[in-house]
Amino acid sequence: MNLIFAPECAPFSIAAAMLAGLTGIEIISMLLGFSISEFIGKPEGGHDGIASGPLSWLNVGRVPILILVMLVLGTFAAVGFVIQVVAGTIWLPLPATIAAFLAAVAAVPMIRTSSRTVARLVPRDETYVVDATDFIGRIAEVTLGPLDQGLPGRVKVKDVHGNWHQLRASAAEGHDPIGVGATVLLVDQKANIFIAVPAPSDLA
């Protein structure tokens, strides 16, 4: 506990506190039926976009920005605390600036590896390969809900190529809220929100 509040560990304590705050906000937002990652999204990955530059080495554009920020904060904090523990065991903890520099350098390859793993696990959003209208008439599973006529939730659906997508969705007018895990039929799209109804038993 003394290590957390030690001046030489201030950068890592701040990073850990920011990570805890983001995690708490995301949990609360999900309980309310939405996710702050929806409003952050992913950077554009075009030829001139941020995801096409040096940051692409960290898989920027393939991983939701919120997840990437949390990986950066968590890895930086963990590596920093380890460095100070080792330094304190050998001799004395390092000055905060030196420890922060070493932690940042050591964390970069770890962030690349972990973000690459996350990129494989996180379903991809709509892309230019599949037209949004192709999802209408498909069966999906509610992953963030319940779906009602208020704030949109999320559904998981597979496209014609077998790739999974996470889509924003709401329940159709006149339907009761549809809970997480339920199977739905996508019947329409308004703006970037898909309209869903409970899937008929012969299709579910």
Instruction: Report the CATH number that the domain containing residue 153 is assigned in CATH.
Output: 2.40.50.140
Q: Is 126 inside any structural domain?
A: no
Sorted by sequence, the CB contacts under 8 Å of residue 80 that are 6+ apart come out as 9, 11, 12, 15, 99, 100, 103
Range of 171's domain? 132-198
| 203 vs 78, more confident | 78
Number of independent structural domains in the chain: 2
Instruction: Tell if the pTM clears 0.75, that is, is over it.
Output: no
Identify whether residues 101 and 163 lie together within a single domain: no
* CA distance readout (Å), 32 to 22, 29, 42, 140: 15, 5, 22, 21
Given CA atoms 199, 128, 64, 112 in this order, what sign does their dihedral have? positive
Residue 193, SS3?
Answer: strand
Q: How confident is the model over 74-98, as pLDDT tens digits? A: 999 999 999 999 998 998 889 999 9
pLDDT tens digits for range 3-62: 778 899 999 999 999 999 989 888 887 777 666 665 555 444 444 444 444 556 566 666
Compute the distance between CA of residue 1 and CA of residue 80 in angstroms, rounded to an integer.
15
- Tell me, what's the pLDDT at 60? 64
Assigned token pair, 190: 């308004």
Cα(117)–Cα(104) distance, integer angstroms: 20
Q: Has residue 203 been placed in a domain?
A: no
User: Does 89 lie in the same domain as 115?
Assistant: yes
> Quick one: 19 and 113 in the same domain?
yes
Could you tell me if residue 52 is inside a domain? yes
Residues 36 and 94 in one domain: yes
Mean of all residue pLDDT scores within the chain? 82
Assess if residue 31 is contained within a domain.
yes
Instruction: Please give the DSSP secondary-structure letter assigned to residue 177.
Output: P
